[in-house]
Structures are given as C-alpha cells and as structure tokens.
Amino acid sequence: MLFSRQSFLVAGLSRSGVSASEYLLGRGAKVFVYDDVEEGAVAENAAALERKGAKIVHKEDLSDCTARCDVLVLSPGIPVDHPLPVSFRRAGKRIIGETELGALAVRCPVVAVTGTNGKTTTVTMIEGILQEAGKRALACGNIGKPLSSCAEALGEDGIAVAEISSFQLETLYSLRPHVAVVLNITEDHLNRHYNMENYVYLKERLLRNSGESEYAVLNYDDPVVRAFAEKTKANVVWFSLKERVDGGYLSEGALCYNGEKILAESELPLQGAHNTANALAAICACKLMGADTRAIVRALTQFRGVAHRLQKAGEVNGITFIDDSKATNVDSAIKAIGSVKGETVLLLGGKDKGYAYEPLFEAIRNSSVVHTVLYGENAFRILNAALKKGYASVTLCRPFDLAVKVAYLTAKRGQNVLLSPASASFDSFRNYEERGERFSELVASFGAGEPSNTEQTQEAEDFGENAAEE
C-alpha cells in the first residue's frame, strides 16, 4: 500500500484503532476515524487523533466517508458482517485490521500464538523465556500492545511474540510467523463465526503463509489441530501430554524436548494439565528461537501466571476468592474447575457466545463445586442447561454485584468462591479485565465489612471498546 496516496477509514477507537490511526498518520496517510460511541474514553481518543491530523467522522457522514475512502481498517471488535464492512466489500474496497498493518510493518521474527484457550499464558511464558535468554522479545497483539505500535521499537533484531485471536485473523493476510503455535481448538465465538467450520478455518489461517523455512508448533493431543499438519508447508514440531513426539512431551513427570529433560512438572508454579501443555508449547517455540535450557528453567519456575487467570483475589472470613474472569468459554471454565482445590461456589454468566453449556454441568457434577450462582444476560440459558443435566444446586440473580455477594453468603469457611464465567463480559463490562477488577473490588468491600451497593457497570457499547477477543 502507498499510504500517502490513499485514504483510510479506521473504525473502532479502542487500543488497536488508535494504534492503526497513529501508524497511518505517521506515514502520511489521510485518516478518518469513526466509532459508534462518541463519549468517554472513545471521545478522548478521537480528540487526540484529531490533533495529530485525523478527521473525525460522525454517524450521519459515514456513508459519504465510505464512498471516499480506499481502505477500511476494522477493529477486531466489529464483525465482518457488520453493515460498515459489508458496504466496503460491495464497493470492491480493501478491508484490513490493525494486525495486518503490523504484519506489513514488522521487520523482526514473529512468534505467533493462537488457540481457544491458553494464548495469553503461553505468550507470556514465551516472552519471559526469550528475555531470560538475552533476547529482545516483546509480547503484543491481542495481549494488549498492538503489533503496529511495536514494529518500530523491535527493529530487525527483536522478536515479536504475538497473541493472535480469531477476530484478528478475519482481517489478517500478510503475517508469516517464523514460529506459529496452535494450542487447541474447542467451541468458542459461535455467535460471531456461526459454526465450528468457520472458526477452525480462521485458526488455520495463521499457518497459510508459512513455508519450508518456518515452523508450526502443534498440539498432537487435539485432533483438529493435529490435522493442520497436513495443510502446512512449515516444519511441524509437536507438543503432547500423552505421547512421546518429535518436540515437547511429558515423560515420567518431567517436561522434555526431543530426548532432553527440561524440568519436572512439579517445578511449575502453575498447576493443571492445561498449564503443563502451555509450558510444553512455550518450550518448543523457545527452543526453535534459540533459547537454552537454563533460561527456560529459570523463566518457567519463576512464572506466576497472568492477571484474571486463576488469580487469588483475597480471603474473607476463611473463604478464598479466585478471579478467573479470563475464562470466557466452557472449556476454559472446565479447566479452572479441575484446577481449584477444595469445595467451591462457582460464579457463571455474562454475554452468550453461542455454544452449549451442558458439557460444563457434566464436569461440575464430577467436581468439587458445591453450588453455582448464575448471573448476566445468559443466566436463564445456563440454568436451562443445568436443569437438563439434573443439576439443581443453583441460585439465579442477574446483576453481577448481587451474584458475587450471594456467592459469598453461600460459601462456608474453608471453601472457595470461583469467578470462572464461561461467558464473555460485554453484557455489563468493557472487557474481562474490568469484570475481574470489579470482582476484586467487591471482595475488598466484604473484607472491610462494607456491603456493596454500587450499581452495575454501564452496558458495553456496540464496538468502540470491545476490541479484544474474549
């Protein structure tokens, strides 16, 4: 693209939209910015971009701007079947995402990670290992720092460790990672992608530009991911909890890589088979990037997890509160339930993503969960799944704050209250981080003996702030 000769409409002014706008303005492009939301942080972002040379587009002028602009830069929070991208597609115009701009700009090797669950944990592990090995690695992408904002700082000798979501893959065409990692694929985002075939197709796109000089790190234990090996030209390196494969595997309680024992599973601070699998994937990726075993061991034994993923939020009256707000799908919640020790009161609910909740209650019935509190937009749909499975230890209360308080009052000394919602947060929060922070605030208020009367967080708007995949 010849930026200085083209006009761009950037739709969605969250982190990725702001980064895309700044990247384009820095290259002399004519930039128009638009968001359904025209107040709060979005308005501040728009005003800051206007001062840098962008032109703010209001809803009544959008059709005019659509006709004038050459390229639409779409926030990952906006579906590709939204009327705005549909109008660009009908006009035969190009639609890209911020990550595509980053892929065009980046000059250093990229380690890209996708999958339904474990992306952020694995990306953070890889970043930590590579930094421990003396390499200039930077986590970016869906994890929080847009790829386009990191390209210049990384230069040619850095390493971009990019978390790539299915939302980003909808508008990503040019990325050619030196190491592409696919962790797992289970039901998720069916409200956006309609069916599993589309979802799997998008995940597979991470490998589509890979050639014989690149690597694909694939989960041997996941039959869907294993099949990706037949469709890529990249050199396949496996990781597995069940088999001794060419790559990373678990053997006699130790994490190994191609015959070399790296460290004992018991040395990992994060427990659970899913965390062991994430660590094996990280080991494979880092070995391929030249990290030595000592650096891998130091980084993994010091790793304490990521925010809002099975994170202790506090203890009140002998009840432990665990923030797993990042568990936005059924598979992730099932893994959390299996990882938490002791009897547990579980908080479920939020914005529906289109999948079945019956498998979740099959897992709950065979777990240490003693009661479930349902809240949010999809509370009745989850309740219906519970009843179908004969699970009746349920309390339903729609507001989030009330649900957390009910869970607290239901739990007994020595038990846990686990927020692992198996749902997106967008019915009442901007993102899962805000939901987790609100959970911690409520726990703190219980500890202070202050019953919460704070009103529910304002409904999340159409697409301005909802840029990241949950």
In 3-state terms, what secondary structure has residue 205? helix
Cα–chain-centroid distance for residue 105? 23
Give dist(CA 324, CA 422) in Å, integer.
10
Give the DSSP H or E segment for 416.
Answer: strand 416-419
Give dist(CA 25, CA 365) in Å, integer.
55
Give dist(CA 30, CA 385) in Å, integer.
51
Residue 470 has pLDDT above 70, yes or no: no
Q: What average pLDDT does the segment 200-211 reach?
A: 95
Give dist(CA 9, CA 32) in Å, integer.
5
Give dist(CA 333, CA 56) in Å, integer.
41
Residue with tokens 């030209």: 233
Please report which residue ranges of 10-80 form alpha helices under DSSP H. Answer: 15-25, 40-51, 62-68
> Could you tell me the pLDDT band of residue 459, with boundaries at 50, 70 and 90?
very low
**Identity of the amino acid at 381:** R
In 3-state terms, what secondary structure has residue 279? helix
Q: What is the mean pLDDT of the chain?
A: 92
Please, are residues 423 and 429 in contact by the beta-carbon 8 Å criterion? no
Q: What was the pLDDT predicted at 39?
A: 84
Considering the chain, what percentage of its residues have pLDDT values greater than 90? Answer: 81
Give dist(CA 342, CA 429) in Å, integer.
29
> Could you tell me the pLDDT band of residue 271, with boundaries at 50, 70 and 90?
confident
Percent of the chain as helix, strand, coil, to the nearest 5: 40, 20, 40
Give the DSSP H or E segment for 163.
Answer: strand 159-163
Q: What are 165's two structure tokens?
A: 């979501």
Q: What average pLDDT does the segment 193-197 reach?
A: 77
Number of H helices, E strands in the chain: 18, 20
Give the DSSP H or E segment for 10.
Answer: strand 7-11
Give dist(CA 373, CA 391) in Å, integer.
12
pTM value is 0.86
Residue 466 has pLDDT above 60, yes or no: no
Q: What was the pLDDT predicted at 190?
A: 63
For 423-437, how does the pLDDT look when each residue is reduced to its tens digit (9 = 90+)? Answer: 999 899 989 999 999
Nearest 5°: the CA angle 43, 49, 51 is 105
User: Which burial class, exposed, middle or buried, applies to 334 when counting CB atoms under 10 A from its CB (0-12, 13-18, 19+)?
Assistant: buried
For 168-180, how does the pLDDT look when each residue is reduced to its tens digit (9 = 90+)? Answer: 999 999 999 999 9
Q: What average pLDDT does the segment 107-111 reach?
A: 98
Give dist(CA 230, CA 374) in Å, integer.
42
Please, are residues 433 and 307 in contact by the beta-carbon 8 Å criterion? yes
For 437-455, how does the pLDDT look when each residue is reduced to its tens digit (9 = 90+)? Answer: 999 999 999 988 754 434 3
